[in-house]
Amino acid sequence: MNRLISWCCFSALNVVATNWVAANTVIREYAPITVVGQPQEFRQFEKVEITGSSIVRKEQTRALPVQVITQEDIRRSGLQSITDVVQSLPLMYGFTNASLVGMVIGGYSSAAIRGMRNQTLVLVNGLRLAPFGLTPISGPERSGVDLSTLPLAAVERIEVLSDGASSLYGTDAIAGVVNIILRNERKGLEISANTTRPYGGAGTGWTSNFGWGTGDTHKDGYNLMVSAEASANHELLGKDRPYASNNVRAFEWKGEKYWPLNNFTNIYTSPPGLVQLPSANKPNGAFSNHLYQNGQCDAESLPLLPLMGPIEHVSGCLLNSYPRLGIYPAQEKMNLYIKGERVLGGNARVFADWLIGRNVMVKSIRNWSWAESAYGLLPNSVGYEQAMKAGLDPQKTALFWMPELAALRQASAQTNSRISAGVSGQWQDWFFRSRAYLSQSQAKTQYDAFGELDYSGLGLGNKQVWTNASVMQPLDQSNPLTGQLLSLRGGLKDAEIGTNRFTGVQATGSRSLMELNGHDVSLALGAEVRQERTTYENLAPELQLQPPTFSNSRQLTAGFAELLIPVQPNWEVNTSVRADHYSDLGSTFNGKVFSRWAITPQWSMRGSVGTGFRAPVVAQTKELENPFVVGQSIVPVPCDDSRKAIAQRLGGNCSLSNLFNPDILSNGNVDLKPEKSTQLTWGLAFMPQRNLRIAVDAWALRVRDRIKPFELGLVLNNPLAYEANYLLRNDLLAIYLPMQNEGAITRSGLDFEGAFRHPGHWGRWSIGAKATYILKSEIFNEVLGKTSDRGISSPRMRAQIIGTLERDKWTNTVTINYNGKYSGNANPAWRQSDGDLTNVARDVEAFYTLDANVSYRPRPDVDFRFGVQNAFNKAAPLSFVDNSSAQAYGIDTRLHSAWGRTWRIGLNLRF
């Protein structure tokens, strides 16, 4: 009753007050307002172009599956690089990243839509960049764009098209397109600083950004902006993450315990180990080293038995070198972006931009060379006293030694640049844009030492009598041998330099032809002329693992057209076609049809079907006069009657023993053809209200005529049928695997996306979810499992859930990253019970991490950020994957980060 009386009194007072104001209001008359200033001179174009279509239009209806990551999304995530932003998306896997430095496919960071890094096209502002500078003639490809050389601070948004787009963009767009769109304008000065600290304090890093801009194109008729970014982090070593050095961690499979077989476990140590040949009192020989103490191996070494067979007298252990090797390299990055624009008149503008980025990575990648002394230690010789103390026969004993110093390093330096200039605007009914550009990517590899180190000058020659007694002492600062070894290693020396350069001109135009069903029938036309050139310098031919210096080039001319037809007011159909002509490959023609149908205001459907292609990189079509060595077979090959006959017909020998590891030779191929693809998508979206959207897209992709080296297994399994693939090298049989078109890739799956937002009393809530579910994955006409194929981890599902609460000056974000279970590759491992070497194919467990980020903005020009990645510090699951990091054996660093819990703090200021 009291509330009712109060409400009635308040209503009465409100009526009285309203009438009093109305009665006492004086109505005044004002003179008409006259506009004295001039009309705005510069026209503001409101039409936009989205990735996957060249038609400029006022609205986007999502006829294509495009994921858009905005500048605000990036800020909320707390991620500090374009690499991290792109590779965190669920539809990305099988990419390369910094952990792969030291591998033949490493040295750069790539995008890989659905595991296809060489078939994913990366654009910046819709324009190509030159691919990674070291694109080899043969072997695993490195043909992607290096994301690590691009500036995150200058990004406006990133658009990811998960559908083939060769009909618009040409080569490399088989799996889809990543279009990184940089900021068009800036106002004033902006600076930021960020620091990161991973778990344990190793691998700390920092990032600083500087941005400045002046002018407003729409008001002032011009704009100029500069964005600079610098960052660095320290190396993360195996000792910092014991689970990434898991050769010291046994695992179970089918009820048995195993030790994994790997490349960085051996019996060479410093001080040296002692190895005795079989004798009357020790029929199986003997072994001893300093790793065996108090009746057991130390914490970082492995027991010798049963791994090395029956050795009767054992007081030694296997050395584990992984703690000294790098998981992630030390990095230093610098990026610069400068852009300017000027209005020529009301309908045209000229613009120019310059983008340059440099990334230098240094990683500890391999052990020092090992050496053995001659058997037979004489009295007063090096090692004689130690052999006697170990109960060995010195006359049948040798020293096995490898310096246990900081590992030898490899450096990879990339510089990626592009300068472009053009004009855009409107002429009559055409919206046009033309650009000329020059893009160059250069990469260089450096090593601490080339090949095997020679210790002869130190009195420690291999298979010789040693004269340097310091080898029996630990390699510390007091040992003179330590300094001698470090000077012998030298510094980083250039081994190879590669450069890719694109020079081209591109022009597009779009206009409305007519109106149909209340919407525009639109047409877009475009043309491109491009020259591609690659050069390679071999500065260390003594390594004999790369081709000699070479160069190659080609020209491309292309034209494309796109037509948008509104068949019904709620149904539109797009068609696009493109013709490309390469001077070295011939011509290719590709088309695509995509459509969207708004069934009801809540339901819509979209789909596409099309063809695509990927041209071989310029280097792969360079056929040298002589094949070159790319490696050595890791599988011992029998010198049987078939291979002996082949070697005899070639005028050489099969081998010097019954089993041998032949050299692998390769070469380019002038007859290579482009890969060809067909792709299909179909999607359904549901939007019951403006704040809720759910979408699912089914997709299927098939790639034919894969570009790859000839299959080694075919040559090994049937030598007479593939006799042409055997050659002689140094009079011994070698295997020749040139580049060719062979096999196919088939993949299919489902992409899910959902978003919900709610403005409530406690602030603005939003939650978004993305997921990719793999239905089928086949490669090289061989079904290798639905969740894994050769060399690429393919989890059944990858997902990401992001929840955000914005309230007043605070923004709080929580992200859950999920990788589903998948089948690992078969990996040889020692069975502990009997020492038997067995191929183990085990499942990799599902894995998730949680990230949290908080942003506080006390003033519009100040922004504090605080966050944690992998908040629960979850260790990566055990995973044996080909082509993953050799220095982090047993985890897949592309799917599971080894950084652990990482704290981030940042400050952003605007003036």
Domains of the chain: 66-239+327-367+408-448+491-627+667-706+743-910 (2.40.170.20)
| Cis peptide bond upstream of 271, omega within 30 | yes
Alpha carbon distance, N-terminus to C-terminus of the chain: 57
Note the pTM of the prediction, 2 decimals. 0.89
**What is the pLDDT averaged over residues 635-649?**
89
DSSP state of 396: G
Amino acid letter, residue 497: I
CA distance 283 to 305: 16
- Residue whose tokens read 């300093």: 290
Range of weakest confidence among 168-177, 362-371, 389-398, 772-781: 772-781
Question: Which amino acid does the sequence have at 360?
Answer: V
> Has residue 155 got a pLDDT over 70?
yes
Summary mean pLDDT of the chain: 86
pLDDT at 898 over 80: yes
pLDDT value for 891: 82
**pLDDT value at 24 more than 70:** no
The per-residue pLDDT for range 72-108, each reduced to its tens digit, is 999 999 999 999 999 999 999 888 888 887 766 778 8
| Tens digits of residue pLDDT in 349-363 | 999 999 999 999 999
Q: Is the pLDDT of residue 604 over 50?
A: yes
Residue 14: enclosing H or E segment and its boundaries? helix 2-23
The 10s digit of each residue's pLDDT in 446-455 is 998 877 789 9
CA distance readout (Å), 145 to 124, 135, 152, 442, 790? 10, 11, 15, 11, 23
pLDDT surpassing 60 at residue 789:
no
Distance (Å, whole) CA 374 – CA 644: 33
Report the pLDDT value the prediction gives residue 362, as an integer from 0 to 100.
94
- What per-residue confidence (pLDDT) applies to 786? 37
Q: What is the structure's pLDDT at 636?
A: 79
Q: Which residue bears the tokens 């990026």?
A: 335
- What is the H or E stretch that residue 707 is in? strand 707-709
Q: Average of pLDDT values for 377-381?
A: 91
Overall size of the chain counted in residues:
911
Local confidence band at 595 (pLDDT 50, 70, 90 cut-offs)? very high
Q: What is the pLDDT of residues 244-254, one digit of tens each?
A: 766 556 788 88
Q: What is the pLDDT of residue 18?
A: 33
- In this prediction, residue 51 carries a pLDDT of 87
Cis peptide bond upstream of 310, omega within 30: no
Tokens 């070479």 locate to 550
Q: Are 99 and 110 in contact (CB under 8 A)?
A: no
Helices (DSSP H) in 374-472: which residue ranges?
Answer: 384-389
Q: Which of 764, 767, 791, 766 is nearest to 777 (CA)?
A: 791
Confidence of residue 320 (pLDDT cuts 50, 70, 90): confident
Query: What pLDDT was estimated at residue 139?
Result: 79
Look at residue 100 in the predicted model and tell me its pLDDT. Answer: 81
Residue 141 near residue 450, CB atoms below 8 Å: no
Q: How many CB atoms lie within 10 A of CB 873?
A: 14
- Give residue 240's pLDDT: 92
Pull the structure tokens for residue 480: 């003179």
Question: Which of residues 499 and 711 earns the better pLDDT score?
Answer: 499
User: Which distant-in-sequence residues (6+ apart) come within 8 Å of 747 by Cβ?
Assistant: 114, 115, 116, 700, 701, 702, 774, 776, 777, 778
- Among 27-31, 271-275, 448-452, 580-584, the range scoring the smallest mean pLDDT is 27-31
pLDDT at 906: 95
Please give the average per-residue pLDDT across 817-846, as a whole number: 81
CA dihedral sign of residues 717, 719, 724, 728: positive
Q: Give the dihedral sign, CA 646/650/654/660.
A: negative
The token duo for 710 is 């000839």
Distance CA 861, CA 839 (A): 59
Give the pLDDT of residue 832.
Answer: 79
Q: CB burial class (10 A; 0-12, 13-18, 19+) of residue 329?
A: buried
Between 299 and 217, the more confident residue is 217
Amino acid at the residue 383: G
| 197-201, 259-263, 422-426, 481-485, range with the lowest pLDDT | 259-263
pLDDT-based confidence at residue 68 (cuts at 50, 70, 90): very high
Backbone angles phi, psi at 434, to 5 degrees: -130, 140
The pair of three-digit structure tokens given for residue 178, joined into one six-digit string: 């990543």
105: region left, alpha or beta (phi > 0 left; psi from -120 to 50 alpha): alpha
d(CA 211, CA 225): 7
**801 DSSP assignment:** E
Residue 307, pLDDT score: 53
Cα torsion 885, 891, 897, 901: sign: negative
The string of DSSP codes covering 32-97 is PP---SPPP-SPPP--B--TT----BS-----S-EEEEEHHHHHHHT--SHHHHHHTSTTB-S---
818 against 63, higher pLDDT: 818
